[in-house]
Structure 1
């Protein structure tokens, strides 16, 4: 089961824009033909008031399952935090047919395809940015955004019309964009960041508590 994207503009399944990512996709399809192995679409509520900008699919997570943050360690903290603040309902069971739904939140990755070592190069981030921009443009109610990691932060600032020298990445930093939309930064909830305590559950929750407050959703918790 693959969930339908809530957005009307997504990369094609065989998107040719990034040769390095195409090569890895072909390799993964040969090695794991039952995996998703394609650009991963957005997931969540198209009427969301909070937009979450992620990095890219993980190999064992979204690249395998076809849903952002589904199937790896990052998803456990990610969805538990959203549920705590009323932004998700149902139970996360690390598979796309678990019935989990997002409410007033949507997740869109900066890069839709699996990159080697989970590290897209600047050209790949740039090539995928139009899909992020299209996705953000389709969110009529979203005035608060959360960027997960510095790469996501950079893409989010550019898509939202800000200037990077004036909006430097830092965990918990808040940036007001020219049109009044707000961007909040968080370290990515990757296994590495959790294992090294660069990001704790309390730190991650603090970011979403603030996002909920800014979006006027305080009563959801």
Structure 2
């Protein structure tokens, strides 16, 4: 199976990262059950010169944990990549596999947690432990001035990574936070199947986040 290379290879954890015992045990269990899956920390995906960095929560079991590419192989990816394509941030065809022709232009996807957590719920300690990789990847994206956090956990990690304070930067869909160094964090409800199916997140709501990101980019150029 083909797995997409990282645009930030020096910042990625090792394939057998030992930092979180619970996640390691789950990884080993899945490697035995599904030996042809990725079953490892999932690399960043996108443009190393990106002006926009999208922060997800963690790999999905049948998505990135299986395919080795963020938001690839599960329901959430269709809305995300369709939206990026609509706003000129993606080219090629998204076919929900790592060897399709999809490429990101001006955008990159990084995760708050690199490994698949049981029940899609990382513990606070796992989130803290993995933040060093998130920090390293953000530091390796010198052109990224706008960040989009998908969901509250990604928001919390992003605020801490960007040097902000959570009491002053509360999560909310389309909430906008200026960080101490001038970088901007935008919040979105996660594009999960549950949020889409319940109407908590609509296509129009999701697109509005990226439309605003483009406005911020253009305002900075003016």
Alignment partner, residue 7 of structure 2: 6
Alignment partner, residue 99 of structure 2: 97
User: In 1, Cα distance between the equivalents of 2:219 and 2:61?
Assistant: 33
Unaligned 5+ segments in structure 1 are none
Residue 140 of structure 1 aligns to a residue in which SS? coil
Residue 215 of structure 1 aligns to a residue in which SS? helix
Out of 38, 41, 55, which is 1:39 matched to? 41
| 1:111 shift after superposition | 0.2
Alignment partner, residue 208 of structure 1: 210
Alignment partner, residue 141 of structure 2: 139
User: In 2, Cα distance between the equivalents of 1:117 and 1:83?
Assistant: 30
| 1:217 shift after superposition | 8.8
Alignment partner, residue 88 of structure 1: 90
User: In 1, Cα distance between the equivalents of 2:167 and 2:175?
Assistant: 14
User: In 2, Cα distance between the equivalents of 1:217 and 1:32?
Assistant: 47
User: In 2, Cα distance between the equivalents of 1:212 and 1:145?
Assistant: 11
User: In 1, Cα distance between the equivalents of 2:4 and 2:80?
Assistant: 18
State TM-score, norm by structure 2.
Answer: 0.97
User: In 2, Cα distance between the equivalents of 1:122 and 1:65?
Assistant: 26
Q: Alpha carbons of 1:132 and 1:38: their partners in 2 closer, same or farther (altered >3 Å)? A: same
Equivalent pairs, count: 218
Q: Deviations over 1:106-159 (max 9, x none)?
A: 000000000011111100000000000000001111100000000000000011
Unaligned 5+ segments in structure 2 are none
2:122 corresponds to 1:120: yes
User: In 2, Cα distance between the equivalents of 1:125 and 1:79?
Assistant: 25
Alignment partner, residue 78 of structure 2: 76
Q: Deviations over 1:172-206 (max 9, x none)?
A: 00000001110000000001111111111110000
| 1:215 shift after superposition | 1.6
Alignment partner, residue 111 of structure 2: 109
Alignment partner, residue 31 of structure 2: 29
User: In 2, Cα distance between the equivalents of 1:76 and 1:82?
Assistant: 10
Q: Deviations over 1:81-109 (max 9, x none)?
A: 00000000001000011010000000000
Runs of 4+ in 1 over 6 A off after TM superposition: none
User: In 2, Cα distance between the equivalents of 1:29 and 1:215?
Assistant: 42
User: In 1, Cα distance between the equivalents of 2:201 and 2:82?
Assistant: 15
Residue 194 of structure 1 aligns to a residue in which SS? helix
